[in-house]
Structure formats: C-alpha cells, structure tokens
A and B are shown apart, each in its own frame.
Chain A
C-alpha cells in the first residue's frame, strides 16, 4: 500500500516534470532556430559570411552574415557591428535598418546585424527575458529574437576556471570568454567568441576597414551610458560628433577608451589595426536590476516606475521620466550617431570620403517609428537573407 502511494505521487511528479520539459524544450528550440528575415536594400552589393575571412567559422554557429554596401567609388570603409550583445536590441535593429535602407555614394559600408549570433540564440537564465520582440510595420508585424550577453553554452562549453584575456593577460570573469565585447582582438584557436573577434580582425584587414562602430545599449545604473567611447585614434571625430549631436539632436557624451581595460572593441580594434574604433551606447532601462515587470513591453517602451524611483534617489547615471526610453528613440540615436561619425570621418579624411544616404536620422525614426523602415519580405522584388 505504502509503496503504491509513494509511486502514485512520484508518477504524477514525473508526468508534470515531463510536460514542463517538453513544452520548455519546444520553446527553446523555436527560439534557437528562429530566423529573422532581412530584405536586401538598394545599397547591398554583396553578402558574405564571417567564415569567408576565417575558414574555421564556416558553417558554424557564428558564421555571421556580412552585408557589404559598395558604391563603386573610391573612399573610406566603415564597419558597423550590431548585437555584440544581443540583449541590446536597438543595436541589431539599427544594423538591420542600415542593410535595408542605406545607399553608399562614396566609399564602402559593411554591416553585421548579429555579431555574436550564438548569443542571440539563448535566453538569459534567471532574468526572465522574453524570447522574441515584435515591431509594427506598414505591412504587418515583424518578429525578432531577443538574446543574451554571452554566447550560447551549447556552442561554447565549458568556460575556463578564470578567463585570461589574450594577449594582455588580464584576468576576467570566466563567462566573459563568451562575451564578444571582452574577447577582442581574438585568438585563432580560442573560444567561439575569441575566434569570432579574430575573424572580424581578418575582415578589417581584408576589406581595408578604416573605422569601426560597435553598437551597444546600457542600463541606467551603469556609468558608461548615452555616450561615444572612442579609441585615442578617433578622438577628434568622436568629440565633433558628440558636440554636434548634442547641439542639434540629442545629448550624447564622449569618453576616451581606458588604456588598461582589455578585451573591449574600442581598445583592441584600435590597438591591433589601423581603424579607429567607436562604441556607441544608448539607455535601455530593460537591463536595470531594479526594473519592474520584465517583458516585451519594457523592452520596447523603456518605461519603468521602479527605475524612475531609483532615479529620484540619485542612483542612476542617466535621466528617465514617464516617457521612458522607447526603442524608436534608441534606434534613432544610433542612426544619427553613425551618420555623424561617417560625416566627420569624411571631413577629416578628404581623400577617403564616406557618403551614406537613405538612412533616417534621429527625428525621422522617432517621428515615423523604426518599423516604417523595414521592407515586406513577401514583397514582389524582395531579396531575403535569413539572419
């Protein structure tokens, strides 16, 4: 009798656990295998993948699409990296928008939407992130993956006991061996993220990249926010961009990349190539620890009472009010920052001009919404690449 009762309860528990595992497994698989549809814009001349620059990545989880927008005219070459951290969605949206809208008149623009694709296929355990987010467009709703900060453990396992950064030898947290913005300039036989950075450095060499912009978003509790962090080689450009953007469009700061902090794009790309590197940050209340309900709404509107309260107590490095920090505002900031940096690059390097058109500025994105700039993948002449 006793045994039967025991097994009845155990049996029920097994059925419940089994159901949870199956449903969760389906949810994870849906997320991991979901592909975003990118409609190639008028400016795209070639689509390569990262594996073309570093063969070992070919066909693997981080064989990211590399969109090349050429002009046929000589000039400067700019590389824009989206979603170094896929939990910062304004960055991949901005890159996506560039691919679908930008046209290059002089020089060359190279865009990567998911710079660490593996990290975009996993949700952050313990943080209750939504799996997807959706943007309203003229032709319907467009769906995107929400990712994590670190590459998927299914693609990169195990982590070292302590992560020793190459080549500086600086000690970093073990999981940051999967963090694309801690593994620059990368290592050919390192972790997945290290190999990915290594591939990007080869791309920078092979394509003769003159400047790199790495897009990010940050929590308001973090001191590096609403700013352009620049390698010392790019200070003039960053200072001018920050000044004019603040005067004409929105407040944005400027910081010099610290010399002693290693693994970051704005330090290592500049140190290990001829290209100055810039890192642009927008405010994303979704990432704050004091945030309230964690869902797609917070992700897209950036409105949160708890974060506002923390602001009233002087605990934030960036202001927030009832309007929050909507995704349109964040994408708009990134668009204008990219255009402004390209503009000042051209001003300071007359022999290597970079002229990009077709990209909306801050005010346009805020007024029309980011969805306005995504084309219908089912449109008559749409050429679609899966991301």
Chain B
C-alpha cells in the first residue's frame, strides 16, 4: 500500500512539475497531474481481496465526482463576485472611496481605518483576495499614493489587505473546505477569523501607510474615477442591507423564512444593483467578465476536487494524512509558519483538504480547539498567495497597480514585516487554541 500510494503520489508530483515546466497554467498542470495519477492508479493497482481488476468504466465517473466536490462553494463564489462587480460597474465603489477621502482627508488615522474596511469587504463576502484586488485595489491604491505612501508600500498594503480580506469571515474558503472535509460544522469561525483578519489588515495598513504626506483634496478628486450622475449613497447601501437582512432573517426566523442559500441571496442583492441602476450597467459584459476573472479560481477549485478524488481513490491522500498526523506536534507548530504559506503557493486551495483536514483531526485528538486552530491556519494560508509558483493574488496586485519595481526584493520584501506579524499571530492561535475557546461564539 505504501509503495502503491507512493508511486501515484510521485506521478502526480512529477507530471505537475513537468507541466509547469512546459508553461501550462497551474490549474491545467494540476488537472494533468490528477488524470495521470488516476490512470497510473488503474494500471498498477495491486490485487485486492474480493474485487476483480480495476474497472476503467469508473474513470470518467471519478473525474466528474471530483469536479463536484466544491460545487456549492463555486456557486457562492461566482454569485458573490458578480454582485461586487455589478456594484463596481455602477460606480458604487468609486462613490464610497471618494466619500471617504472627502470626509477624512484631514484625519490620516480615520482615512486609513476606512480604507482598511473597504479593502476587507469584497474578500470577506467572496472569500477571494483576487476579487478584493480587482474590485477595490486600484482605487485604494490611488488614494494611498496621494497620501504620500511609496509605490512599493502601496503594493504591499493592497496585497496584505487583500490576503486578510480572503481570511475574513463570513466566507473563508480554506476554513470552509477543511471543515467540510473533517465533518465539522462551519460554525463559530466568525469571531476568531474576524480578530485575526482585522488585526492583520490594520497592522499592515498602519505599519506601511502611516508615514506620508497630507492629502491634496483638489488633485485627488480629479484623479479618482467619477461615479455616474445618478449615483446616490442609498444605491450602495440598500443592496448590502438586503443581503445582510436576508442572512439575518434566516438566523432570526429560520423556520418561517424559506431557505434561500447564499448564492440566491447574492443574486437578489445583484438584482437590486441592476434595478437601481437601470440602463447604466453593461449586464452581459459584467457577467462574462466576472466568469473570466474567476476562471483561474473556480478552475482551481474544480481541479482540486478532481485531484482530491484521485488521491483518495489511490491512497495518496491517506499517505499524506498519515505523514502529517504522525509528525511530532512540536515540529508541526515550529514549522507551520513556513509549511502553510509555501504549500498554498504550491497547490492553492488543495491545502485545505490535503493538509488542513489531517491537522485538524490531529489537533482535535490532542485536545486543542479545532475551530480556533483552523481559524489560525486559515489566516496564514492567504499569505502564501504571493509565493511561487502560483502567486495568484501577488501577481494580480502588481498587475492592477502597475507596479514597476522588483517582485521579490521590492514588493515581497516590503510585505515581510506585516506577513511575519500575521504568521506569528496565526501560530499563536493554533498553539494556544484551547485557551482561546471563548472566541467561538458566533
């Protein structure tokens, strides 16, 4: 069994590396690796008691079964991002940012605080740092530049806040995927994830953005994109009120309200944006752009599902899990800060089922609080989104802001201190999870 699982795992790693070398995208490389693993498993599977030869007819079924693994999450992801993009297309985001600048240009601390909030919302709702960068990154970047923050620091702030927005509740995809994999309710994460992500984002914003020059209001107002004439504050507020109202109603009157589910709630909020901005939106274009924007992320979730199915089938998942749960705890704690971001950079969301789930089962067994521990880890993973080979959010940030400096010695190095802060905080949450149990309330 060890040899068989080892062979399949080896083939998966090898094909992935080779495909990357041949300039295939991470998602396709992972798909290729999964399919190769599946075929090799069929070819070399050892003889097993009670069953005959490997049934090749099951191969397509395994592929599609795997593709369905995160289908719920994919729908949430698509609908939430569609909502945010419609709001942006209607000019709502520009409207809010201009409002913050006009109101707080004399109070640096307040301005930074509100910019942090603006940065956190898209990712908190969609679970994606990339969405944050795409929806608000450029606007916040412009404001920060006018506040006298250097280009490299602006890039670092946008990345760090985007990473923290992905970690922020209610939607943290790592925690959701790992919780689902360990039969654990995705409940009680709001506060621990909230504390971690808000502290991380505020630290990054203030540490990197505190020094600067006062804002020249006239100049920045001509520079920032102008919302369309019909834009009013209520057009931004109402969709959010309805969205949170629907979520709250589901909690307050759970048995009187029909079950809507998050995707439909986001679609309702999106419909309100459309209705309040009739004639202003390029609807089909926004939907089409949203799907294109999300393709790498949705693609990676579908492909990770297939990979997980193949690894479960062949025992490769068991081998990895076994390797992790039989490691000494001290070694795990001491290396979390490096293992988590690096693995995220390598295989993205696949870390949640492959590394997160066995760790959670181990922590649970050893008497740690699994919710706090998972929240700690789920705040550390997004830091890896600036690391190769994928560097998804890092690349998006550099691209959107048009950062011309060096990626590693400039941008990545500037992120180092706030990233270390988040990694330390996350590690402390894991190690002292049993004493932080009081955070598991909401």
Query: Footprint of B on A, CB under 8 Å?
Result: 19-21, 23-25, 27-28, 123-128, 130-131, 149, 158-162, 164, 166, 169, 171-177, 187, 190-191, 221, 288-297, 300-301, 303-306, 309-310, 313, 315
Contact = CB atoms under 8 A, between A and B. Distances in A.
Interface in B156-193: 179-188
Contacts of B247: 161
A197 B228 CA distance: 54
Given A173-B184, A289-B357, A294-B312, A125 B69 contact: yes
Nearest to A305: B1
B295 to A, nearest CB: 15
B21 interface: no
B50 A160 contact: no
Q: Is the interface of B mostly helix, strand, loop or mixed?
A: helix
Most-contacted residue by chain A among B68, B255, B322 (CB, 10 A): B322
Interface stretch (B11-19, B259-267, B377-385, B402-410): B259-267
A162 B50 contact: no
Given A290-B325, A309-B322, A20 B254 contact: no
B400 to A, nearest CB: 28
Nearest to A177: B259
18 contacts: A28-B61, A125-B65, A125-B71, A126-B68, A149-B183, A164-B251, A173-B185, A289-B361, A291-B315, A293-B1, A293-B314, A293-B315, A297-B50, A306-B318, A310-B322, A315-B325, A315-B326, A315-B362
Interface of B: 1-2, 4-5, 45-46, 48-51, 57-58, 60-72, 179-188, 247, 250-251, 254-255, 259-265, 305, 308-310, 312-315, 317-319, 321-322, 325-326, 353, 357-358, 361-362, 365
Given A162-B187, A289-B361, A27 B60 contact: yes
Nearest to A316: B365
A27 B72 contact: no
Given A126-B312, A289-B361, A313-B325, A158 B264 contact: yes
Contacts, number: 177
Contacts of A164: 250-251, 254-255
Contacts of A130: 58
B91 to A, nearest CB: 29
A123 B255 CA distance: 29
A21 B64 contact: yes
A177 B259 CA distance: 11
A293 to B, nearest CB: 4
B255 A187 contact: yes
B364 to A, nearest CB: 9
The residue among B61, B63, B260, B310 with the most chain A CB atoms within 10 A of its own CB is: B61
A161 B261 contact: yes
A191 B259 contact: yes
Nearest to B247: A161
B65 A128 contact: yes
Contact of A221 (B57, B317, B365): B365
Contact of A294 (B57, B66, B183, B313): B313
B312 A23 contact: no
Nearest to B63: A20
A20 B60 contact: yes
A296 B49 CA distance: 9
B182 A289 contact: yes
B58 A292 contact: no
Contacts of B325: 290, 310, 313, 315
Contact of B4 (A149, A175, A293, A303): A293
A210 B359 CA distance: 43
A351 to B, nearest CB: 39
Given A164-B254, A297-B50, A291 B187 contact: no
Nearest to A165: B254
A23 B49 contact: no
A24 B64 contact: yes
A23 B322 contact: no
A166 B259 CA distance: 14
A235 to B, nearest CB: 27
A173 B72 contact: no
Nearest to A291: B318
B61 A158 contact: no
B51, B57, B319, most chain A CB atoms within 10 A: B51
Contacts of A306: 1, 5, 315, 318-319, 321-322
B428 to A, nearest CB: 25
Contacts of A173: 179-180, 184-187
A296 B321 CA distance: 21
A69 to B, nearest CB: 31
Contacts of A295: 48, 51, 313
A23 B57 contact: yes
Given A20-B60, A126-B66, A173-B186, A158 B263 contact: yes
A174 B265 CA distance: 15
B187 A171 contact: yes
Given A162-B251, A173-B187, 18 more contacts: A20-B64, A28-B64, A123-B65, A124-B65, A125-B68, A125-B69, A125-B305, A126-B181, A127-B312, A172-B187, A174-B186, A187-B255, A292-B318, A293-B45, A310-B322, A313-B325, A313-B326, A315-B362
